[in-house]
């Protein structure tokens, strides 16, 4: 992936999503926390797959979903993640290439299988994820190509990467290379429970200059600052040395700097089907716009448009060309 013109390079967990519609009773019966992401082992993965009923199988993973959204918006996207050289790993690699995302990391030839996330979608559109990380856990600094990172205007990292120790090292390597090259680094907090596990480390990344941009939904932000009050969390974010981008579901998004906070409404939708990927696609729109020099509020509008498309169908990746949709809505996609 040695290219001098990558707009957004996402680094994250390469996961195949197994998505099924279910009900609240199933979540209770299986003892899973609604709306959260739980890490599971291979035995639990096999059990859930057998219990969850008919499913849609599609390549996923938070960072990769964002990369796909960036490519769909006509920007140049790359992805760094780890799969196994197995059936699902080959499917994953093919899917990314088919939409134009550069993905050149060599698959593992031994070790655990390609990762899978069992996503249970309840009638209210909320998704509950149970993730077997598998080969993802073996993403290492050796998989982070320095030329690739230097080529990217923006390096986008997912908070879930903070779970596997080697991936954490890869994360830090990418941050260093990007900043030496004068490029921007963004992080998404990923999940409130992820924030609970690594709160101090995430705060440290902001405060030691590792991050330029922080993406979070309002619940993740409240978890980060350990407050039940959204206003208090936003006040704390304003004091950090980052560009903050905070999503609030149907209430839209906020772009937060030390100087000001700007609000952008959510795009109207006909029907909420599945919130899987909403944050990932919002980030895709924002980053694609930012890489082209758009104003922050226009970046947020582009993010809201991309998120609105993905929540109206099952799955975390767009089903229509987002660049065409952006043009129809008067946004430079």
Q: Residue 307 belongs to a domain with what CATH number? A: 3.40.1190.20
Range of the domain at 99: 6-13+61-110+137-328
Return the ∠ at Cα 66 (arms to 65 and 69), rounded to 5°.
90
131 falls within a domain? no
Instruction: Compute the residue count for the chain.
Output: 333
| CB proximity list for 279: less than 8 A, separation 6 or greater | 62, 188, 215, 217, 247, 307
| CB proximity list for 295: less than 8 A, separation 6 or greater | none
SS3 at position 189: coil
124 falls within a domain? no
51 falls within a domain? no
**How many helices (H) and strands (E) would you count in the chain?**
12, 13
DSSP 8-state secondary structure symbol assigned to residue 32: -
pLDDT-derived band at 332, boundaries 50, 70, 90 = low
SS3 at position 158: strand
Per-residue pLDDT at 273 exceeds 60:
yes
pLDDT-derived band at 1, boundaries 50, 70, 90 = very low
Q: Measure the N-to-C terminal CA separation of the chain; round to a whole number of Å.
A: 24
pLDDT-derived band at 276, boundaries 50, 70, 90 = confident
Task: Return the residue matching tokens 């704390």.
Answer: 236
In terms of Cα–Cα distance, which of 276, 273, 272, 283 is closest to 306? 283
SS3 at position 218: helix
- Farthest-apart Cα atoms in the chain, separation: 52
What value does the mean pLDDT take over residues 155-182?
A: 93
What integer pLDDT is reported at residue 127 of this predicted model? 85
The rounded distance, in Å, linking the Cα atoms of 22 and 19 is: 10
> For 220-253, how does the pLDDT look when each residue is reduced to its tens digit (9 = 90+)?
999 999 999 999 999 999 999 999 999 999 999 9
Give the count of domains, the chain: 1
Q: What percent of the chain has pLDDT over 70?
A: 98
171, 172, 179, 181, 205 from 176: Cα distances, Å:
9, 6, 5, 9, 12
123 falls within a domain? no
Per-residue pLDDT at 3 exceeds 60:
no
Task: Return the residue matching tokens 């959260």.
Answer: 36
117 falls within a domain? no
What value does the mean pLDDT take over residues 58-78?
A: 95
- Assign residue 161 a region (left: φ > 0; alpha: ψ between -120 and 50; beta: otherwise): alpha
Per-residue pLDDT at 2 exceeds 60:
no
29 falls within a domain? no
Predicted model pTM:
0.89
> For 6-47, how does the pLDDT look when each residue is reduced to its tens digit (9 = 90+)?
999 999 999 998 889 999 999 999 999 998 888 899 899 989
Q: For residue 197, what are its two tokens?
A: 């596990």
In terms of Cα–Cα distance, which of 234, 220, 215 is closest to 303? 215
87 falls within a domain? yes
34 falls within a domain? no
What value does the mean pLDDT take over residues 123-143?
A: 91
What integer pLDDT is reported at residue 105 of this predicted model? 95
Per-residue pLDDT at 333 exceeds 60:
no
């Amino acid at each position: 992936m040695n290219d001098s013109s990558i707009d957004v390079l996402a680094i994250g967990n390469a996961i195949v999503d197994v998505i099924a519609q279910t009900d609240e009773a199933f979540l209770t019966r299986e003892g899973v926390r609604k709306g959260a992401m739980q890490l599971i082992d291979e035995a639990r993965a096999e059990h859930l797959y057998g219990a969850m009923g008919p499913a849609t199988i599609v390549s996923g993973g938070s960072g990769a979903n964002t990369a796909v959204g960036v490519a769909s918006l006509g920007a140049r996207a790359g992805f760094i993640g780890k799969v196994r050289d197995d059936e699902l790993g080959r499917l994953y690699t093919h899917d990314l290439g088919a939409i134009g995302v550069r993905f050149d990391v060599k698959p593992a030839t031994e070790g655990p299988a390609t990762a899978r996330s069992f996503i249970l979608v309840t009638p209210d559109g909320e998704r509950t994820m149970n993730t077997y990380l598998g080969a993802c856990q073996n993403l290492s600094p050796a998989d982070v190509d320095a030329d690739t990172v230097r080529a990217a205007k923006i390096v986008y990292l997912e908070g879930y990467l903070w779970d596997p120790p080697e991936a954490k090292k890869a994360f830090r390597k990418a941050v260093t290379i990007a900043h030496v090259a004068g490029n921007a680094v963004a992080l998404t907090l990923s999940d409130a429970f992820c924030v609970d596990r690594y709160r101090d480390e995430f705060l440290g990344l902001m405060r030691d200059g590792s991050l330029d941009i922080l993406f979070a939904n309002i619940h993740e932000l409240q978890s980060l600052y350990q407050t039940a009050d959204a206003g208090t969390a936003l006040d704390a974010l304003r004091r950090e040395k980052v560009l903050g981008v905070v999503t609030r579901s149907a209430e839209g998004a906020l772009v937060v700097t030390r100087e000001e906070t700007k609000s952008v409404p959510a795009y109207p939708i006909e029907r909420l089907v599945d919130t899987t990927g909403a944050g990932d696609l919002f980030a895709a729109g924002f980053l694609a716009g930012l890489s082209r020099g758009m104003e922050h509020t226009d970046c947020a509008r582009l993010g809201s448009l991309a998120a609105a498309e993905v929540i109206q169908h099952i799955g975390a990746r767009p089903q229509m060309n987002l660049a065409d949709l952006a043009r129809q809505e008067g946004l430079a996609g």
